[in-house]
Structures are given as C-alpha cells and as structure tokens.
Amino acid sequence: MLDLHGLTIGADGTTLVRDLSLSVPATGITALIGPSGCGKSSVLKWLAGILPKGLQAEGQVMLDGQAIARPCPAISYQPQSDALFPWLTVAQNAALGLQIRGLSRAEALKRVAPLFRSFGLEGTEGQFPDQLSGGMRQRAAFLRTVVHDSRYVLLDEPFSALDAVTRLRMQDWLVARLADRPRGVLMVTHDLHEATGLANRILVMAGSPGRIVAEIPMPLSHTLRSEAALALLRDKLKSLLLENAP
Ligand SMILES: Nc1ncnc2c1ncn2[C@@H]1O[C@H](COP(=O)(O)OP(=O)(O)OP(=O)(O)O)[C@@H](O)[C@H]1O
C-alpha cells in the first residue's frame, strides 16, 4: 500500500492543496477526479518527487508502512502529455528511463525489446514518435513508464488526447496489461465514464485549497458493471463535483 499523509502544497503565499491524505492499494486503479485547478496534477507530481520549483509542499509518503523519499524506484509517473522525445526512436524513448536509472543504452534497449509485442508496438522500434498513431504513442509512453517494473504507477490523464474509439481500446488495453502484471495505479481523469468504467475506487478532489471530498469504492469487477448502475454513479459524482464547485 502506498499512503500519502497530510499533504499541503503552496505557491507564493497561496495554499493550493491542504492536508490531503489518500491511499493507493497495491493492485487496481484508483481514479482521482476533480475540477480543473484543484491540484490533482500537483499531487501526482509531488508523489513522483518532481514538484516544480515554484511550489512548496509538506507531507509524508509511506510505502508498506515505511516513510520513503522520492523519486523512488517503486513509483513511476506518466505526465499529462505523452512526453516522447521526437528526436529519439520509439525504442530509445522506451529505454530512456532505464538509462537514467543507470543502465547502459545497449542494456536498456535489450530490456525493452521483448515488451514491444505485448504492448502492440511490434515493428515500431526504429520509428520516430511522429510516425505513430495517437494510441501507439500512448502505448509507447506507457511502456516507458512501466518498464522499470515499479509497483505503483501514476498516470495523469493518460487517454485525454485520444479520439473516443482509441480511448476505449486503450482503456481495455490498460485493464488487460494490469491483469498480466498487477500494479497499484493512481490515475487522474476528467472523464466520468472512464473513472466509473475503469477504476476500482474513485477519489473526488475539490475545493480551494484542494482536498478529498469523497471516496467511492467500486465493488464489482469491470465486466460485471451494468450501464444503469454506472449512470447512477456518474450522477452521484456530478452532484458531488457541483456541490463542491467554487
Ligand atoms: N509551478 C507552479 N507555480 C505556481 N502555481 C502553480 C504551478 N503549477 C500549478 N500551479 C497552480 O496550482 C493549482 C493546481 O494546479 P494543478 O495543475 O495541480 O491542478 P489540476 O487539478 O491538475 O488541474 P487540471 O485538471 O486543469 O490539470 C492551479 O491553480 C495552478 O495554477
């Protein structure tokens, strides 16, 4: 379990997030939803250990009950944009994080090579990101994020730039990858269909300063969720978001 305790984030005398606590179980998807500007991305960046310099934060992160410093090899982070470097091939992009963690380029490329097939990227190794479709770029970004085999993955709106069909395919694909290799995922999304369809748990963040205003467990497996039940849940989430709107 990854636990975040008492996170407060401020900038220039303004408090953006106050005394926020949340947990990410070791398996399954925890969705973090909330209005634009409530601090969702900042929470993820802080957890990843890459909060921008202009922001100050205090709080504690515990991994299986032990306080940890970040960046931490157990936690991977995928930013809002796919952030692939256009001048590197897909394989070089995928290998980059391993190189940053100390592997030689050759070792890193060798480690990522067998993964291309299961990520639906076979044959793209030598291509450049702008030669790929949006869905393929997203899979390449996800490959780069998970290649460290970290236990926890932080995804900031991973599918927001995709068209509706590609998004649905990528959501199914993510569920399948997590079934192959369970991890704890904390995923920011603005899409209530995505949150209710994918997540095992939904955290609603709102307010200024931002805080968690509701935690909604999703007891059923993805395949057993009826559209009628999900529609009711989306209505509940909409009401919560509107109640807590500034
Ligand atoms: N580097 C920074 N310096 C100062 N303020 C910042 C900085 N980064 C973000 N902020 C402010 O922090 C607040 C929270 O931003 P953040 O991006 O975390 O929100 P968010 O909920 O993820 O928004 P969105 O859903 O639009 O991505 C915003 O008011 C934003 O203007």
Predicted confidence at residue 115, as pLDDT, reads: 87
Give me the percent of the chain exceeding a pLDDT of 70.
100
ipTM over 0.90: yes
Residue 87 has pLDDT above 80, yes or no: yes
Ligand 1 pocket mutation pick from 8, 41, 56 by most atoms within 8 angstroms of CB: 41
In the block, tokens 């068209």 appear at 163
| Protein residue whose Cα sits closest to atom 26 of ligand 1 | 36
| Protein residue whose Cα sits closest to atom 30 of ligand 1 | 37
The third-level CATH classification (topology) of the domain covering 1-74+154-227+234-246 is Rossmann fold (3.40.50)
Predicted confidence at residue 225, as pLDDT, reads: 78
Residue 222 has pLDDT above 80, yes or no: no
Question: Mean pLDDT in the chain?
Answer: 90
- Mean pLDDT highest for which of 54-58, 112-116, 133-137? 54-58
- 208 CB near ligand 1 (under 6 Å): no
Ligand 1, residue 12: give the atom nearest the CA: 4
Predicted confidence at residue 21, as pLDDT, reads: 96
pLDDT greater at residue 4 or residue 133: 4
| Distance (Å, whole) CA 151 – CA 186 | 11
Tell me which DSSP letter residue 188 carries: E
Q: What's the gap in Å between 185 CA and the centre of ligand 1?
A: 21
Residue 119 has pLDDT above 90, yes or no: no
- 189 CB near ligand 1 (under 6 Å): no
| Distance (Å, whole) CA 170 – CA 228 | 23
Return all residues near 25 (Cβ < 8 A) that are at least 6 apart.
1, 184, 200, 201
Ligand 1, residue 38: give the atom nearest the CA: 21
- 135 CB near ligand 1 (under 6 Å): no
- 40 CB near ligand 1 (under 6 Å): yes
- 144 CB near ligand 1 (under 6 Å): no
Q: What's the gap in Å between 190 CA and the centre of ligand 1?
A: 15
Residue pair 39/205 in contact by the 8 Å Cβ criterion: yes
pLDDT band at 80 (very low <50, low <70, confident <90, very high): confident
Ligand 1, residue 205: give the atom nearest the CA: 21
Predicted confidence at residue 216, as pLDDT, reads: 92
Range name among 6-10, 126-130, 231-235 with the lowest pLDDT average: 231-235
pLDDT tens for residues 193-215? 999 999 999 999 998 899 999 99
Predicted confidence at residue 173, as pLDDT, reads: 81
Residue 246 has pLDDT above 80, yes or no: no
**Strands (DSSP E) along the chain, which ranges?**
2-11, 14-24, 28-33, 56-63, 66-67, 75-78, 152-156, 184-188, 201-206, 211-217
Structure tokens at 197: 């369809």
Residue 42 has pLDDT above 90, yes or no: yes
Predicted confidence at residue 224, as pLDDT, reads: 74
Domain ranges of the chain: 1-74+154-227+234-246, 84-149
Predicted confidence at residue 134, as pLDDT, reads: 85
Mean pLDDT for 210-231 is 85
Q: What's the gap in Å between 210 CA and the centre of ligand 1?
A: 10
pLDDT greater at residue 48 or residue 120: 48
Residue 171 has pLDDT above 90, yes or no: no
